[in-house]
Amino acid sequence: MSDGNTHIWHVSAGRAARYADGTLPEPDTWSVEKHLEGCAGCASRVSAAVRGTAAGPVLAQVRDAVLARATPVPVPAVSRLARLLWAAGPAVRGAWPPAVLAVAVGALALSHGAGLPGARALLLAVAPVLPVAGVALSYGPAADPLYEVTAATPGGGLRLALVRTVAVLAVSLPLLTLAGLLLPASGAPAAVAWLLPGLALTLGTLALASFTGCRTAAGLTGGGWLCAVLAPVSAAPGGPLTARLAEQLGRCLDGTGTQGAWAAAAVLSAALLAARRPAYDRPFGR
């Protein structure tokens, strides 16, 4: 301690009491105050003496008032449900889930209600288009009213597109596969046969979107699938329509070679998407 007087004397209890009640002569109060600046022991003795005077309750009140202001009010956290909704994005909050549900329920109604034998073939023909449509309705300036603001954030690029795609897949894959399982096969491929094509088309849409924007990309992949499945059916002669559809779907979905090709397409699309990541970092489609 550099203060010269610290080693000479300390403030006694009596002196502290006289300082507190204001009866200490002025020159003595100066030397007490000078000493208190450098001596914690005496400072606490004087503080205790002051708290014992009439000023004590007032000081306590001020202290409580300041603390009440300074203590942060507990802030309600955002609920888990809200967080889930964030991740879901515009498509899953909008009209798209009812559309998926309508397709699933519609196929069941056609089969069990109307007795149509080829309901599974119809469902498998339409199913891969639904997640693709979900992606188109989830991301991009046309689908997301918040797009302009999210484009200026670090998390608004591919990360956001992928999170929303996962939400779309989490709704459509189980629902449509389950519906397929509940339908009689009647010549159509297995109910799970559409999963790899669905995934490949979805990833392909995301990769293509980095060049064309989400809507055009979804139109190309979804439209391409429908053309591949439906065009030969309408051209082929003979037999009931659903039987021809089941046959054509078999060519598009059945067999390890075909499924392997779809898996390869999914992997390639994912690789292309990873390479095109910077395009998601800057707005596209306008």
Partner 1 sequence: MTSIHVTGLRVRHRRRLALDSVDLDLGTGVHGLLGPNGAGKTSLIRVLATVARPDAGRVELLGADVADPRGRAGVRRRLGYLPQEFGYYPGFTVREFVAYMAWLKEIPADRVPAAVARAVARVGLADRADAKVRTLSGGMVRRVGIAQAVVNDPEVLLLDEPTAGLDPEQRVEFRELLRELGASATVVVSTHLVEDVAAACTEVTLLEGGRIAYRGTPKSLTRLGESSGGPGDHPIERGYTAALRAHRTAERREALR
Which residues form the interface with partner 1 (CB under 8 A)? 72-73, 75-78, 82, 85-86, 90, 93, 144-156, 160, 278, 281-283
Whole-number Cα distances in Å, 182 to 109, 170, 191: 11, 19, 9
Q: Which is nearer to partner 1, 224 or 283 (CB)?
A: 283
Give which of 49, 18, 59, 53 is closest to 31, Cα–Cα: 18
Specify whether the CB–CB gap between 248 and 118 falls below 8 A: no
Specify whether the CB–CB gap between 164 and 94 falls below 8 A: no
Q: Which is nearer to partner 1, 63 or 93 (CB)?
A: 93
The minimum distance between CB 148 and partner 1, in angstroms, equals 5
Q: Which is nearer to partner 1, 139 or 147 (CB)?
A: 147
The minimum distance between CB 76 and partner 1, in angstroms, equals 7
Token pair of 251 as six digits: 């060519």
The minimum distance between CB 156 and partner 1, in angstroms, equals 5
The minimum distance between CB 63 and partner 1, in angstroms, equals 24
Q: Which amino acid is at 192?
A: V
DSSP label at residue 185 = -
- What is the distance between the alpha carbons of residues 139 and 285, in angstroms, rounded to a whole number? 11
Q: Which is nearer to partner 1, 16 or 88 (CB)?
A: 88
